[in-house]
Amino acid sequence: GTRFNATVECNIFPQSFKDQMVKADDRSTIMVMKPFKASSRVFKNKTAAEISRIEKEKGVGLKFQDIGELVKFDMLREGIEKGDPDHGIWNCGQSVCLVDDVPTCRELVSRLIREAHEALDGVSFALARSRL
């Protein structure tokens, strides 16, 4: 899902969110809401950092009300409307560090197929031939 959020056709996220995905590295996501057994991996932005700070600060005394306003979907919706990727939390997989462009879906799928064929060609000597 994360990779397709950074495509031309993705009409949920504005370009500013996609730009953040392109800039991401392997430390650009964070787990939030673990104390509530409702953990979610999100893009590490200002809102996510604030949630993490509160979770650590409160420790075992953490109550949902301490972070409730920060995790509301309404906050993310406002961020999307403003084009502000730091306003609200948005789910994002660790694979975001591999995003380096914003192609069309067609270009992305073609690339994935081509790269899969290249990878298979590179290991074909190790695969047994099927008799089917």
pLDDT digits (tens, 9 = 90+) for 65-101: 999 999 999 999 999 999 999 999 999 999 999 999 9
Q: What amino acid occupies position 27?
A: R
Report how far residue 63's alpha carbon sits from residue 43's, in angstroms, rounded to the nearest whole number.
22
10-26, pLDDT tens digit by residue? Answer: 999 999 999 999 999 99
Q: Which residues contact 28 (CB under 8 A, 6 or more apart)?
A: 43, 44, 92, 96, 97
Compute the distance between CA of residue 58 and CA of residue 19 in angstroms, rounded to an integer. 33
Per-position b or e across 88-120, b if 16+ CB within 10 A of its CB: bbbebeeebeebeebbeeeebeeeeeeeeeeee
| SS3 state at 4 | helix
What's the pTM value of the predicted model, to 2 decimals?
Answer: 0.87
Residue 130 has pLDDT above 70, yes or no: no
Residue 59's CB: how many other CB atoms inside 10 A? Answer: 8
